[in-house]
Structure 1
Amino acid sequence: MCSKRHVARPALKTRSAPLPQRWIDVKPRLALFVASLATFLVAIDGTVLFAAFQRLVQSFPGEPPTLVAWVLNAYTITVASLLIVSGRLGDWIGQERVFRIGLSLFLVASYACGNSAHLSELIAARVLQGMGAAMLTPSSLALILGNHRDAQKPMAIAIWGATGGLAAALGPGLGSVVVGHLGWHWAFYLNLPLGAIAVLAASFLGGPPLTTRLRLRHGIDVLSAVLLGGALACLTWTLLSARSIDPIHLGIGMLLTIALGGWFVYRSRQVPQALVPAVLWRVPGYMAATGASICFSTGFAMLFFGFFFLVTNVWKLDLSHAGLAITPGPLTVIPVTVASGRLAMRWGHRPLIIAGAALLGLSALWLMHYPTYPQYASFLLPGLLVSGVGIGLVMSSLTAVATMKLPAHMHGIGAAVNQTVRQIGSVLGVTLTVTLMAQRATGYDPYVLLYATLTLLSLATVACVWRWRAEPAARILG
């Protein structure tokens, strides 16, 4: 055995031989390009169907909107359930290998989604697409960390994160143009050329060093991922079906949600190598940041999803004009997000989160008094700009707050849990929006209910971080 080990070492040295200086300079940029393109695909697929939802309902006339909503939620629930598992899998078999598998699965599933003739086929393909997306998110970040020097990592991670934020914000507008002119199938086919570029670029990246792969003593906690996904699916089904099922089945749905969620929490406290370590919640400020993240993400999804219902159902705009109408909001998010990073260095993240959530709540109160005919410049545009500023202030600050006080060995799991919570918030936002839109038949104004809920979520975001003790980022970072 000793001789075998001795023979294996020269191969490692040969593989890690010094590379040409030109390749050393280019490889970090190539890794950043590949990782950013992958996160762009994942993020945009989470929001692009906001614009396609009503077209999907029309394409499957025999299916109720609450069932069509699973086209959106199946993807997000799968991502939320498998995000942390995928990160652990990458530590075990190599992040670069997980990235390639995830990207291939994502592209195959995208083609299957676009080629689906039945709703059940589309939902199943969206589950596979979510599995690929869950593998891409942590492994794309690992590509950046593994190919950049320490001094380069903050800027590279900032570009990677901004790309995901840009994709999520542009998804509804881009989706409305694509779906309006080409049909909902092309919301998925659009992934194929971009994914092909990512595959080609990734082929020039070498695999990670063998020393970066961990030997997991207790394996990967797959059961906890199943429990989390099951609890989310039961909760989503219960909320979507609340008006169409009897109280007994409604109670069964809630009991299953509580039982699966309780089992998940129990395993987190008792099982070694748990999916979500219980010690994570004892880190100062992490619980507050998690609560704020789920409230904000729920409101974010409700805001953009609700915009499309308002401008298409009430103002009777077509999809292309609806997408153009809401574009100023997402475009406002990006520069504000960049500026908020500099402001946080001076004032800390807590004031930015409070100010951003307050602006989001004010925009919801403004939108609550919507006119029944198009008033863009005097009504919708101010609401879009104010909400865009609010979202830009909150978005990056919540991620920073969630991970800033974590010890170094918990940065990865802390960021993964925060991303999982945001996916859960997106599921709740879509589910609540579809549920509230169904209240039209009961005589209640669904848009007033939606924007009132968004106002409450903004207040809840403020409440979560109100007592959080924050310091300017410059002081914490040294």
Structure 2
Amino acid sequence: MAQIGKAPCDDTLILHGARPEEGGCPDASKPWVLAAAIVGSSMAFIDGTVVNVALPAIQSDLHATAFQAQWVVESYALLLAALLLVGGALGDHYGRRRIFAIGVGIFALSSVACGLAASVQQLIAARAVQGIGGALLVPGSLALISAAFPEKERGKAIGTWSGFSGITAAVGPVLGGFLVDHFSWTWAFFINVPMALLVLWIVWRHVPESRGASASGGLDLWGALLATAGLGGIVYAFIEAPTQGWRSPAVLSALAVGVLGGAGFFVAERKVRTPMLPLELLRIGNFSGANLLTLLLYAALGGGLYFFPLNLIQVQGYSATVAGAALLPFIFIMFALSGWAGQLVDRFGPRMPLVIGPAIAAVGFALFAVPGVGASYWSGFLPAVVVLGFGMTVTVAPLTTTVMNAVGPELAGVASGVNNAVSRAAAVLAIAVFGALMAWAFDAALADHLRDMGASRQVAAFLEGERSKLAGAAMPPGVDAATAAAAKRAVAESFVAGFRWVMLSSAALAMLSAVSAWLMIRGTSAGGADRKN
């Protein structure tokens, strides 16, 4: 699943998203503001996890390839990641209540379009619009809390929001799986509509307007455009290369756009008055180290876990509901041990938790590579889920603390926003790159299995035409039961071969993130000493 629960620094985005004097919201409105923020952000959290569970059903019903199914996730996540910081700035400039409500409205209408999509191309387009709505909605929900609650009350509000977000992260995939199993994948999108109507009613009746103190600073529209082009070009190249080939003009052009867009983004950030990414932050050792760790570790998490529900449903034969519940131990571990993990930096400093946590996560990813076809969840996958959950628990709170301690209070909001966006961009890029890795490993393994089973030329040719669907490949028509069973086994074994490559690559990325922490993270003080490194 591309995004498990909240991204890092979500809570600190609330904490530092407004000046203390902005807590002028009437007491009677505060519970309503909190309710709007919780339900609004829950839509995005649910959508970020439900769609992965629904992908096999979407792929089957819309006759989509595995790479088109990737676009269903990527079109949403790409625009959300690229426009997230701009969405927050728009709220500061034009009113947080207004931008939040526009985001909710766009999200709801595009959710209806997703549910009514008659082709995978229509679904991808609707998901892209949904990503734009999410980019306005997600930071807006956090900013509403920040603006409504003064500093002395904000901690309790954050705790309430975070607690409900944890419940959402746990319930969302299971609910989505239930809807897919008992109704249709379309309800994974339609469920957003009543939630959106409730939020809009609350906003209209009870939420006051507010603006940020920095509303006169300007918007980094060039940064947003170039970031979208950079991410989009690279993502397109890696998703389309397995079917079009790396020498395809479209793939090479997209790769060029991605590289030039990325380079242009950094050039633009040096020149604009209010950049999305203030480049001087990258000269702060602990900040750059924490963001490199975030990039590597969340690439492993987002890219690796994207394929997990596909394995459970299409290869292991589990229902969508069971697949949705498969990561519940991960979420419960993070929820139960988050308080303990938050004390690790105080006791040991930032370096050791950020080395040990990703190293434990690397072991978890490696354990995902062990089970084969027909594996039991309890003995095959649960140990990996538990170890990965513990590793991420050890990492996330110290990572957030390190990001905040690396800069002064005046830059805390910017720093947390950058780290949050890095984690989302990492998942976007990793899903595309791991998709290409999966396709390469799947094709190679399938050719070997077909040769070993002595498949006829007709069977081999049919499966060659189906390979773009990966584990969702149809079986050759008109063959005997034994041949059909052997072909199905060959497809499943080939997907597992690719899954193992993906998970071992995730383990390598997690270990690299631990190494980056060992080499780059220094100091224990807040604000001052860390910035000198």
Structure 1 letter corresponding to 2:216: L
Q: Note if contact 1:85-1:275 (Cα within 8 Å) is conserved in structure 2.
A: yes
The aligned runs of 1:177-196 (5 Å cut-off) are 177-196=178-197
Q: Which residue of 2 aligns with 1:273?
A: 274
Post-superposition CA distance 1:381-410 (Å, at most 9, x none): 222111111222223332332233222332
The aligned runs of 1:136-155 (5 Å cut-off) are 136-155=137-156
Post-superposition CA distance 1:93-136 (Å, at most 9, x none): 11121111111211121112112112222122112211111112
Q: Which residue of 1 aligns with 2:219?
A: 220
Post-superposition CA distance 1:226-279 (Å, at most 9, x none): 111111111111111222224433443322211111111100112222232222
Q: Note if contact 1:166-1:334 (Cα within 8 Å) is conserved in structure 2.
A: no
- Distance, in Å, in 1 between the alignment partners of 2:46 and 2:515 is 30
- Distance, in Å, in 1 between the alignment partners of 2:96 and 2:118 is 35
Structure 2 letter corresponding to 1:245: Q
Give the direction of change, closer, same or farther, for the CA distance of 1:230–1:237 in structure 2 (3 Å limit).
Answer: same
- Distance, in Å, in 1 between the alignment partners of 2:331 and 2:166 is 9
Give the direction of change, closer, same or farther, for the CA distance of 1:396–1:204 in structure 2 (3 Å limit).
Answer: farther
The aligned runs of 1:90-101 (5 Å cut-off) are 90-101=91-102
Q: Which residue of 1 aligns with 2:514?
A: 462
The aligned runs of 1:37-436 (5 Å cut-off) are 37-61=39-63, 63-161=64-162, 163-164=164-165, 167-168=168-169, 170-209=171-210, 212=212, 214-216=214-216, 219-249=218-248, 250-436=251-437
- Distance, in Å, in 1 between the alignment partners of 2:313 and 2:416 is 37
Asked whether 1:31 is paired with 2:33, we answer yes
Give the direction of change, closer, same or farther, for the CA distance of 1:301–1:246 in structure 2 (3 Å limit).
Answer: closer
Give the direction of change, closer, same or farther, for the CA distance of 1:424–1:208 in structure 2 (3 Å limit).
Answer: same
Asked whether 1:446 is paired with 2:498, we answer yes
Aligned length: 454
Moved more, 450-459 or 242-251: 242-251
Q: Note if contact 1:239-1:431 (Cα within 8 Å) is conserved in structure 2.
A: yes
SS at match of 1:471: coil
Give the direction of change, closer, same or farther, for the CA distance of 1:326–1:344 in structure 2 (3 Å limit).
Answer: same
- Distance, in Å, in 2 between the alignment partners of 1:71 and 1:342 is 39
Q: Which residue of 2 aligns with 1:7?
A: none
- Distance, in Å, in 2 between the alignment partners of 1:436 and 1:187 is 29
- Distance, in Å, in 1 between the alignment partners of 2:153 and 2:508 is 40
Q: Note if contact 2:407-2:527 (Cα within 8 Å) is conserved in structure 1.
A: no
- Distance, in Å, in 2 between the alignment partners of 1:32 and 1:353 is 32
Q: Note if contact 2:45-2:169 (Cα within 8 Å) is conserved in structure 1.
A: yes
Give the direction of change, closer, same or farther, for the CA distance of 1:326–1:213 in structure 2 (3 Å limit).
Answer: closer
Moved more, 371-380 or 179-188: 371-380
Post-superposition CA distance 1:339-382 (Å, at most 9, x none): 31234443344433322212211112222221322323322222
Asked whether 1:471 is paired with 2:472, we answer no
- Distance, in Å, in 2 between the alignment partners of 1:339 and 1:360 is 17
Give the direction of change, closer, same or farther, for the CA distance of 1:109–1:390 in structure 2 (3 Å limit).
Answer: same
Structure 1 letter corresponding to 2:408: P
- Distance, in Å, in 2 between the alignment partners of 1:69 and 1:238 is 13
Structure 2 letter corresponding to 1:118: S
Post-superposition CA distance 1:424-455 (Å, at most 9, x none): 12212322443333231211711220111111
SS at match of 1:183: coil
Percent sequence identity is 25
- Distance, in Å, in 2 between the alignment partners of 1:325 and 1:377 is 10
Q: Give the superposition deviation at 1:204.
A: 3.8
SS at match of 1:274: coil
Post-superposition CA distance 1:157-214 (Å, at most 9, x none): 344345445545654443222222222111111112222232233234343356x464
Q: Note if contact 1:347-1:472 (Cα within 8 Å) is conserved in structure 2.
A: no
Moved more, 389-398 or 158-167: 158-167
Q: Which runs of 5+ in 1 are unaligned?
A: 1-15
- Distance, in Å, in 2 between the alignment partners of 1:357 and 1:270 is 35
- Distance, in Å, in 2 between the alignment partners of 1:129 and 1:465 is 35
Give the direction of change, closer, same or farther, for the CA distance of 1:50–1:374 in structure 2 (3 Å limit).
Answer: same
- Distance, in Å, in 1 between the alignment partners of 2:138 and 2:321 is 30
Structure 1 letter corresponding to 2:361: L
- Distance, in Å, in 2 between the alignment partners of 1:174 and 1:162 is 18
Give the direction of change, closer, same or farther, for the CA distance of 1:80–1:209 in structure 2 (3 Å limit).
Answer: closer
- Distance, in Å, in 2 between the alignment partners of 1:171 and 1:146 is 28
- Distance, in Å, in 1 between the alignment partners of 2:294 and 2:139 is 18
Q: Which runs of 5+ in 2 are unaligned?
A: 1-21, 446-493
SS at match of 1:260: helix
Structure 1 letter corresponding to 2:501: L
Give the direction of change, closer, same or farther, for the CA distance of 1:162–1:299 in structure 2 (3 Å limit).
Answer: farther
Q: Note if contact 2:235-2:429 (Cα within 8 Å) is conserved in structure 1.
A: yes
Q: Note if contact 2:409-2:527 (Cα within 8 Å) is conserved in structure 1.
A: no
- Distance, in Å, in 2 between the alignment partners of 1:142 and 1:347 is 32
Q: Give the superposition deviation at 1:328.
A: 2.4
Give the direction of change, closer, same or farther, for the CA distance of 1:149–1:99 in structure 2 (3 Å limit).
Answer: same
Q: Give the superposition deviation at 1:460.
A: 1.8
Q: Give the superposition deviation at 1:32.
A: 2.3
Q: Note if contact 1:179-1:186 (Cα within 8 Å) is conserved in structure 2.
A: yes
